[in-house]
Every structure is written in structure tokens, then in C-alpha cells.
Chain A
Amino acid sequence: MKKISISIFLLLFGIVLKAQEPTKVPDQNPDYKKSENKYTKGQEKTLQGMNTTEQKTYKAYDWTESKNEKKVERVAFRRKKQLARINNICHVRGCNNMNRYHTHPIFHRR
């Protein structure tokens, strides 16, 4: 009686295990579980980019654009330099001095 009940239990256990096992498709790679486990974990990050355009643009050299850029840079640098000079005068002589424009050597050159 005991033997019969054990064998029935083992049979049922086997059936349950077999039912839990995913059905295999013919010609399926036996190691498919490795890949399945790898790609079912942490795939959210990879899939976030779907349906989007990944911008990996580069800067093409354009003679005219490059010339214009250099011009803009030059003007900005001059302005910055001028501002720095004026601020320097304020720092040295004090901004409240109304005669600073006439006393500083930069303005003497004009």
C-alpha cells in the first residue's frame, strides 16, 4: 500500500514538473534558456530607444560657415576684451570717478 502511494505521488510530482516545463519546439537550440535569461533581465534600457531617432550627428566642414563662425568669435573676443579693460579701470580707480574716461591711457589713444 505504501509503495503504491509513493509511486502515485512520484507520478503526480513528475506530471506537475513536466507541465511546468516550457514546450520545446523542434530544432530549438538546447541552450536557449541562457539567452532567454540574459535578455529577459534588464532589457528596459535597451528598449527605451525604440521608436526614436538617435542623434549621432557630426560637424561637417563648410568653408563659408567656418569663416562666419571665426568672424563671430573675433567680434565676441574683442567685446570681451573691451569689457574686461573697462572693468579693470573700475577696479583700480573706482567706478564713481567721473573722470576715469579721460584719465585712462586707453581713451587717450583716441
Chain B
Amino acid sequence: MRSIKVLTLLTVILFSMSCAHKVSRIEPTETPDISGKWNNTDSRLTADEMIKQCLSGGWLSEFTDKKGKKPVVIVGMVSNKSHEHIEAETFIKDLERAFINTSKVGLVQSGKKREEMRAEKGDQQSNASVSTMKKFGLENGADFILQGSINSIVDAYKRKKTVTYQINLELTNIETNEMVWIGDKKISKYVKN
């Protein structure tokens, strides 16, 4: 009778352990493919490819030779025209970090962060001391604007599906409207449910 009780208890413990919510930590570089959707690995691969292509592009040396200074880039809008929700900031930030770390390209703030920065400058005009107050109209003007698009092609039949993502980033000279660099990364996946 006692052995039956012990066995029952053990079974209950084992069952509850197998059903327990489990979390294990993994390296950010080792994200496994679970659903087949866009994930961390895709973002990382895109960032690596874009950094490599952008920093080795002819536009950089051409501009530096011509103007005698490093180019200043502003990040514009990225359009996600794929079938999934993809946040481009994950790989754009990696690219920006590479720009700053290599000191080859300068960056200026854009979007909401720039608005916040200007608002702070505006606040300083009436609250900060004259010696520390930052003046308007002394911002660095960008030479190039970085814009991009994400597209996808889906082909699905019954339990099989192929997805191809195409990520394009473009760098355009703001003054001349000349496109000086186009970065391209294609990712294809075969998913079987």
C-alpha cells in the first residue's frame, strides 16, 4: 500500500516537472529557427552584410578624397513591405554602431530623438547659464541620407512554404540627389509544417 502511494507521488512530481514552464539562456548569436519567421539571426546576418558592403563601398573613399573630411550620414525611413512585422532598427543600429566605431563615417541624429534634442536646446535658452547654453543653428548638416525597404516573396502549398526576404538600403547624396550606394541582402527559407 505504501509503495503504491510513493509511486503515485513520484508520478505526480515527474508529471508536474515535465509540464513546468522552462526558460534557458542562449547566446544571441545562436538563435534557433522555431517558426520560420524573421528572427534575430536574420537581423544579425543582414547587419553583418550591410556593414561589410557599406564600409567597403567606393563612395566613402571618393567623398573623403574630394572633400577632405569624413561623410556625415542621417538615417531616414525604412519601409517594411513584407508580410511580417519587421523592425529595421535592429540592423540599422548595428550599422550605425559600425559607422561610429570605425570613425570613417559621421552620424547625425534624426526623427523623434532630434526633436527631443532641439526641445532641450530650446529649454536651455531660458533656463541654462549663458556660458553653458547651446546655440541654435550650429548643427552638422548631413551629406548623405540612408533609406531602405524590406520586401518578401511567399510561396506556400499545403504544409510547405518558401519565404524570401530582400532587404535594400540606399545611400543618397542630399545635395546632388545622386544614389551612391545600394546595399542588398537576400534571405531564403524553406519551412515544412
Contacts and interface: CB of A to CB of B under 8 A. Distances in A.
B89 interface: yes
A40 to B, nearest CB: 14
B112 interface: yes
Interface stretch (A4-12, A43-51, A71-79, A88-96): A43-51
B76 A55 contact: no
Interface residues of B, number: 31
B77 A52 contact: yes
Interface stretch (B17-25, B56-64, B149-157): B149-157
B79 A57 contact: no
A56 B77 contact: no
Given A60-B152, A62-B154, A53 B86 contact: yes
Interface string B155-170: 0111101000000000
Contacts of B161: 62, 64
Contacts of A107: none
Contacts of A62: 154, 156, 161
Nearest to A44: B115
Dominant SS at the A interface?
Answer: loop
Chain B CB within 10 A, most for which of A48, A51, A56: A51
B47 interface: no
Chain A CB within 10 A, most for which of B77, B80, B83, B158: B77
Given A50-B76, A53-B78, A58-B81, 8 more contacts: A49-B111, A53-B89, A58-B83, A61-B154, A62-B154, A63-B156, A63-B157, A64-B159
Interface of B: 74-89, 92, 110-114, 150, 152, 154, 156-159, 161, 193
